[in-house]
Amino acid sequence: MSKLILEIPEDVLRSLKLPPAEREAELRKELALALYHRGILSMGKARTLARMTRWEFKELLGRRHIPHHYTGEDLEEDLHYARGH
C-alpha cells in the first residue's frame, strides 16, 4: 500500500478550532469533500479517504450542499450492494 504523509505546520494545527483528537478526522473529511466536489475523486474513493460509510458521506454532502455526481463506479457499488454484497 502506498502512503502520502501530509505535513501541516504546527502553528496551523494550533490555529485549528478543533480539539486535537478530532483534527485528523475533520481534515480527512474536508479534503475528501473538496476533492469530490472538484471531480478529482469518486464518491467511493472520497468516502474511503473520509473514513465514512456511503450513507454518512452522502449525508455530509447534503449538509454542505455539494451536489452528488453519480458515476459508473457509483452504479457498480449500488449494484454490488443490491445483490447482497
Strands (E), the chain: none
Residue 73 CB coordination number (10 Å)? 12
pLDDT tens string, the chain, 85 residues long: the values are: 789 999 999 999 999 999 999 999 999 999 999 999 999 998 889 999 999 998 999 999 999 999 988 778 778 877 888 898 6
Q: pTM of the entire structure?
A: 0.79
Cα 62 off chain centre by: 13
8 burial (CB, 10 Å; 0-12 / 13-18 / 19+) is: exposed
How far apart CA 21 and CA 37 sit, in angstroms, is 26
Domain residue spans of the chain: 22-82
